[in-house]
Amino acid sequence: PAGITLEEVNELNKNIRAQLFEEGNMLFNFSQVNDIVLLRCVISDDEISANQIDQIIEAIREKGQMILKSIRGKSDKKKEAC
């Protein structure tokens, strides 16, 4: 996402993975390639549908947006306090 550092992106990806894992619906791991934390999804079900993959991607997107809103809200409150 625009306006955040690589370190923040890495933390975001770790948080997305942790929160989705805690919810118990999806299990992801992450890999680090060239100092970038990437979400890694291994699909072993040969009967998975395109719709199910779309749901996985949408869940990641929604969780990321939710976390970013939370982070930005905290950042805005800190700026107002100064």
User: What local confidence, expressed as pLDDT, does residue 79 receive?
Assistant: 53
User: What local confidence, expressed as pLDDT, does residue 77 receive?
Assistant: 58
Which residue is associated with the tokens 């894992």? 21
User: What local confidence, expressed as pLDDT, does residue 53 receive?
Assistant: 92
Question: Which residues have C-beta within 8 Å of that of residue 20, sequence separation ≥ 6?
Answer: 26, 27, 28, 59, 60, 63
Per-residue pLDDT of the chain (82 residues; tens, 9 = 90+): 677 889 989 999 999 999 999 998 888 889 999 999 999 988 888 999 999 999 999 999 999 999 998 877 765 555 555 5
User: What local confidence, expressed as pLDDT, does residue 41 receive?
Assistant: 86
Q: What residues form DSSP beta bridges with 30?
A: 39
* Alpha-carbon span 55 to 61, nearest angstrom: 10
